[in-house]
């Protein structure tokens, strides 16, 4: 069965510092990968997704992620975070465009002024 592991449950970082949220997936076949963000008491918002092609994916709000097939990783990065980036981030995988999404347990990013 497919699984997604987010390696850090909480990541504190100072404002304007860079951040990396780590994600590994397990699958013997090709997968589609996503990062979603959930702001406090809100729903889910898609940050970016990797379907195929370039391994560097750019998303909204200055985030990007790199797909690494050999390491089965899909880490999320931002060069300079803002207080408004404080949220929970989910790494998500699926086998095709119409199969259920499998979520990681989430990483809570706290940006400190």
Distances, alpha carbon 47 to alpha carbons 3, 60, 70, 78, in Å = 20, 6, 23, 12
Please give the residues from 68 up to 87 whose contact with another protein meets the rule CB under 8 A: none
Member of 40, 70, 97, 113 binding another protein (CB under 8 A): 97
Residue 83, by phi and psi: left (phi above 0), alpha (psi -120 to 50) or beta? alpha
Least distance CB 13 / another protein (angstroms): 20
Residues counted in the chain: 113
Member of 17, 51, 56, 60 binding another protein (CB under 8 A): 51
Least distance CB 43 / another protein (angstroms): 5
Near another protein by CB under 8 A, which window of 13-21, 44-52, 57-65, 69-77?
44-52
Tokens 């990968």 locate to 33
Q: Which is nearer to another protein, 45 or 68 (CB)?
A: 45
Residue 105 corresponds to which tokens in the numbers above?
């347990």
Near another protein by CB under 8 A, which window of 20-28, 63-71, 73-81, 91-99?
91-99
Give the residue ranges of DSSP H helices in the chain. Answer: none
Neighbours of 50 (CB within 10 A): 19
**Residues contributing to the site for another protein (CB under 8 A):** 9, 32, 34, 43-44, 46, 49, 51, 90, 94, 96-98, 100-106
């Amino acid at each position: 069965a497919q699984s997604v592991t987010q390696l850090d449950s909480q990541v504190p970082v100072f404002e304007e510092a860079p951040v990396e949220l780590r994600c590994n997936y397990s699958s013997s076949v090709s997968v589609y990968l996503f990062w979603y963000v959930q702001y406090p008491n809100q729903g889910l918002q898609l940050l970016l997704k990797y379907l195929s092609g370039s391994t560097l994916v750019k998303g909204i709000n200055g985030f990007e992620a790199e797909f690494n097939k050999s390491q089965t990783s899909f880490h999320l990065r931002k060069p300079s975070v803002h207080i408004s980036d404080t949220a929970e981030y989910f790494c998500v995988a699926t086998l095709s465009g119409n199969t259920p999404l499998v979520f990681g347990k989430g990483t809570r990013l706290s940006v400190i002024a």
